[in-house]
Amino acid sequence: MSTIFDRPLPEDAGDTTEAEAEDRLVIAAAPHIKSRETTTTIMWTVIASMVPIVAASAYFFGISALLVVVAATMGCIAVEKAFGKPGALRDGSAVITGILLGLCLPPAFPLWMAALGGAFGIAIGKTLFGGLGQNPFNPALLGRAFLQGSMPTAITSFTAPGGHFWTIHRSTLAWPFMQVPKVDAITSATPLGLMKFDHAGTPLLNLMLGSTGGSLGETAGLVILACGLFLIWKGYVNWRIPAAMLGAAALFAALAHGAVPARYPGALFTVFSGGIMLGAFYMATDPVTAPVTNPGRWIFGAGIGALVVLIRFWGGLPEGVMYAILLGNCMVPFINRATQPRVFGTAARGRRQEVAP
Amino acid sequence: MRSTFRHGVHPPDSKALTAAVPLRRMPYAAEVVLPLRQHAGKPARPVVRVGDRVQRGDVLAEADGFVSSPVHASAAGVVKAIGLWPHPDGTLSDAIRIAVDPFNPQIPRPRMVPDWNGLTPPEVVKAVQDAGVVGLGGAAFPTHVKLAPPKDIHLESLIVNGAECEPYLTTDHRTMVEYPERVHFGVRIMMRALGVKRAVIGVERNKPDAIERLRATLPPDLDVIILPLTVKYPQGAEKMLIHAVTGREVPSGKLPMNVGVVVQNVGSIATIAEVFETGLPLVERIVTVSGPGVRRPSNLIIPVGTKVRDILEFCGGVSADATEVVLGGPMMGTAQPNLDVPVTKGTTGVIVLTRRDTPRFETLPCIRCGSCLEACPVFLNPSMLGLHAQAGRYEEMESMHLADCMLCGACSYVCPSAIPLSQMFALSKTALKKARSKVVA
């Protein structure tokens, strides 16, 4: 009957008549074409972009660092597999959570704790809310907040970088609920701790290149910056959030430093120390827990940046990125509501409609 | 003049397949099918009976009221049947079928449309309506209605839409390249009828030859600016084009004439000129037959009512992996289940997509990336609207300006989670309309 479909469709070759081929015309609603960008490719690209960061932390802290990242990731994957929607692992978001959580833990952190943190982050922080796209808080940070609350000693025992690559710290392999062995390697205060409690600075170059104590992803600010810029170039990270966050933190730090130089560090120290770089490019930018409008993103980023400085300079903790971002996450629904776009052809709140000359 | 609008998307324009293919005339098929509803407004009323002999250009159905348009025989032959037939919009609709007389020379009666010289503006409006001219850009709004704005409206300029931002389509492109004089003549007629002194022809920059031809043939006494536009979808949407040309936003719920302009598609403009030139009503139109699934992509002059099957056959058939036949462009056109559907006055293209062009993406939850907000040309929040649509909260959507959504599909195009946003909005609009008609009844 149909002479247009000259051959049957390939996958059904053999038992299809030409008339039936026409029956299989796809009827779909417009638009009929779609960009090839998918959430899955975005997620896995983000994961790929974190490889240099993980590699840098392994370079500085040895195999233990890698094990911590793997343990945290395994914890996330296990819970996502057990409680998440079928096939939810494929979108890669659980792996991102795991790696990010691993990156904000100390190098010799007990593996079981890392895995538990990942499991908590995914279970309570994500699955409980309905999985991908539904969680109000960044699951990795929620996992870390849980660990901070439950294991305050372990999470503040930082190993100094250096040492042999294959050395596995005893604390790394500690058993659950046993007395954590004293961290055997040289423990070291983080640059932020030094600044906070001793008012001692750390050379800026060390901060940028990473040869300082701290969490895995707190070192090597330049590596994180490069990876973040790659994601911005790909269009997967909205540049406004890191720009606002780092900008606001730098600004407030510079003001405080200008007022009392001996007490407060300057702008560059502030943006290259601690977890702010990782937070700005990888945590605060998690689209699910960030505002959806561009003005909202500026507000969100700037608010977090200001909070970080507030907590670091005047709070009880040396580092405040985690709490700052979690607090920012709380504000997202309000920010979204307040920054809804002005619909084309309607007058904006307080703004007159454009009138042509 | 800013030459573009804010937001929008950049789908591959895919126009190279037919951009340089000259227009050809397609021979008459054995049968043409002319739906009574080929325009926005009331369907036409049939004035012929089954068995009647008709000549090319004869009136088959007359306009039912002012916002309606007549339907003319696009080929000489015998009225075979009047009844339901598949319509490009996916419904079954009343249509007049004509068995084309294969031995008829298809010479129309002389001068069915009067000479435009000496006609008053109201007479021009009447002549344009009688010639069955409607917008050829897709929406098929009766052209004569645009030519007769209410008395209290002050018009400043005519904007001619040569953006053609839908991928694959090159009908307007070829019209501008091959019939630039006709475009200018049509502009002259419309400017006279509307009483405006200025006109702007907006053309996307991916059609440099069209811009060059229009400029080269511009009569010196005509105050027309040919404005190159940024290549971006949906540049050809009326409101986006007006914003690009004048910097003005058409107020929500209002018409272009409220900001002093009338927009007309360049193909319709050329058709106005054509009907006055030849004296023959609108019985054929230019259609792009393209897409990776078509063996011989072409730009054809096709008698209105020719079936898609005949057109595809004329173009060498479709490839083995063809999966979707779309009437119109791939962003806003409708997929056809039945190839016996006819080309109507509003059909801009027949696009055959293959499996490779229409991969199925798994729909994932919204990750609130905001891509849709940055795509939406009317600054809606499609992500939020989508959540409401899924929950059936249509009133909520209405208060979020669902009515301003023109279903351009930009949000669905960019969504990385492959959420069928504009598809859901189309459904929501229908649901709202239905709910409202129930309240009235």
In a domain, B391, yes or no: yes
Number of domains comprising chain B: 2
Q: Does B404 touch chain A (CB under 8 A)?
A: yes
Whole-number Å distance between alpha carbons of B63 and B59: 10
Alpha carbon B24 to its chain centroid, in Å, reads 20
CATH number at residue B211: 3.40.50.11540
Q: How many residues comprise chain A?
A: 357
The whole-angstrom distance between B59's CA and the closest CA on chain A is: 32
Can you give the residue range of the structural domain that contains B205? 112-278
In the stretch 211-270 of chain A, residues with CB closer than 8 A to chain B read 238
Nearest CB to B364; choose among A31, A91, A340 = A91
pLDDT at res. B417: 93
Nearest residue of chain B to residue A30 (CA atoms):
B332
Helix residue spans in B5-139 (DSSP H): 121-130
Q: How far is it, in rounded angstroms, from Cα A182 to Cα A169?
A: 10
| Beta-carbon separation of B9 and A35 below 8 A | yes
Asked if B422 reaches chain A (Cβ–Cβ under 8 Å), the answer is yes
Of B313, B320, B336, the CB nearest to A10: B320
pLDDT in tens, B308-362: 999 999 999 888 888 999 999 999 999 998 899 999 999 999 999 998 888 888 8
The pair of structure tokens assigned to B116 is: 């435009």
DSSP type of residue A237 = S
Contact B378 A29 (CB under 8 A): no
Q: Closest to A33 (Cβ–Cβ): which among B413, B422, B423?
A: B413
What is the per-residue pLDDT for A355? Answer: 38
Domain assignment present for B99: no
Amino acid present at B352: V
Residue A2 touches partner B, C-beta closer than 8 Å:
yes
On chain A, the residues whose CB falls within 8 A of the CB of B349 are none
Q: Give the single-character DSSP code of A173.
A: G
Interface contact flag, A354 B414, Cβ < 8 Å: no
Q: Scanning every residue of chain B, which has its alpha carbon at the shortest distance from the alpha carbon of A5?
A: B318
Do the interacting molecules here have an ipTM over 0.90?
no
Could you please report the per-residue DSSP string of A125-137?
HTGGGTSTTT-SS
pLDDT at A257 over 80: yes
Considering only residues 160 to 189 of chain A, which have any Cβ-Cβ distance to chain B shorter than 8 Å?
none
Contacts of A91 in chain B (CB under 8 A): 364
**Confidence at residue A239, expressed as pLDDT on a 0 to 100 scale:** 95
pLDDT of residue A182: 55
Range 364-383 of B in CB contact (< 8 A) with A: 364-371, 373-374, 376-381, 383
Taking only the tens of pLDDT, chain B with its 441 residues reads: 567 888 999 999 999 999 999 999 999 999 999 999 999 999 999 999 999 999 999 999 999 999 999 999 999 999 999 999 999 998 999 999 999 999 988 888 888 888 888 888 889 999 999 999 999 987 889 999 998 888 888 899 999 999 999 999 999 999 999 999 999 999 999 998 999 999 999 999 999 999 999 999 999 999 899 999 999 999 999 999 999 999 999 999 889 999 999 999 999 999 999 999 999 999 999 999 999 999 999 999 999 999 999 999 999 988 888 899 999 999 999 999 889 999 999 999 999 999 888 888 889 999 999 999 999 999 999 999 999 999 999 999 999 999 999 999 999 999 999 999 999 999 999 999 988 887 665
What is the pLDDT, as a whole number, of residue A349?
Answer: 47
Mean pLDDT of chain A: 83
The whole-angstrom separation of Cα A353 and Cα A356 is: 10
Residues B118 and B237 in one domain: yes
Q: Is A4 on the interface with B (CB under 8 A)?
A: yes
Q: Which of B:327-356 have CB within 8 Å of A?
A: 328, 330-337, 339, 351, 353
Whether B127 and B266 map to the same domain: the answer is: yes
Full-model pTM: 0.88
Domain end call among B254, B278, B302: B278
Tokens found for residue B253: 């719920």
Closest CB to B247 among A24, A294, A354: A354
Subunit contact A34:B404, Cβ cutoff 8 A? no
Residue A16 has a pLDDT of: 39
Tokens linked to B339: 């190839």
Beta strands B77-86 and B59-62 are unpaired
Q: Is the pLDDT of residue A304 over 60?
A: yes
Contact across the interface for B377 and A344, Cβ inside 8 Å: yes
User: Which residues from chain B sit within 8 angstroms of residue A5, using beta carbons?
Assistant: 317-318, 320, 322
* Exposure b/e, B20-47, CB count within 10 A at least 16 = b: ebebeebebbebbbbbbbbbbbbbbebe
Amino acid letter for position A279: G
- Please tell me the predicted confidence (pLDDT) of residue A181: 54
- Residue boundaries of the structural domains of chain A: 39-188, 190-337
Residues of B in contact with A238 (CB under 8 A): 370
Which H/E stretch holds residue A276? Answer: helix A276-278
Residues of A (75-134) whose Cβ lies below 8 Å from B: 91, 131-134
Q: Among B278, B305, B323, where does a domain finish? A: B278
Verify that B265 and B135 share a domain, yes or no: yes
* pLDDT mean over A276-287: 93
Burial group, residue B120, by CB count within 10 angstroms (0-12, 13-18, 19+): exposed
The residue of chain B nearest to residue A32, with distances taken between CA atoms, is B330
Quick one: CA torsion of B107, B109, B115, B119, rounded to 10 degrees?
Answer: -140
d(CA A25, CA B352): 10
Q: Answer yes or no: is B416 within a domain.
A: yes
Task: For residue A232, count other CB atoms closer than 10 A to its CB.
Answer: 17
Among B250, B314, B341, B369, pick the best mutation site for testing chain A contact (most A Cβ within 10 A).
B369
Give the pLDDT band of residue A21 (cuts 50, 70, 90): low
Question: Residue B94: phi, psi to the nearest 5?
Answer: -65, 135
What are the two backbone dihedrals, phi and then psi, of residue B233, each rounded to the nearest 5 degrees? -95, 140
Model pLDDT, residue A261: 86
Out of B278, B304, B324, a domain closes at B278
Claim to verify: residue B266 and residue B129 sit in the same structural domain: yes
Q: Would you place residue A1 in the very low, low, confident or very high pLDDT band (cuts 50, 70, 90)? A: very low
Name residues whose C-beta falls within 8 Å of residue A197's C-beta, 6 or more positions apart in sequence: A189, A318
Tell whether B219 is covered by a domain. yes
d(C-alpha B347, C-alpha B340), whole Å:
14
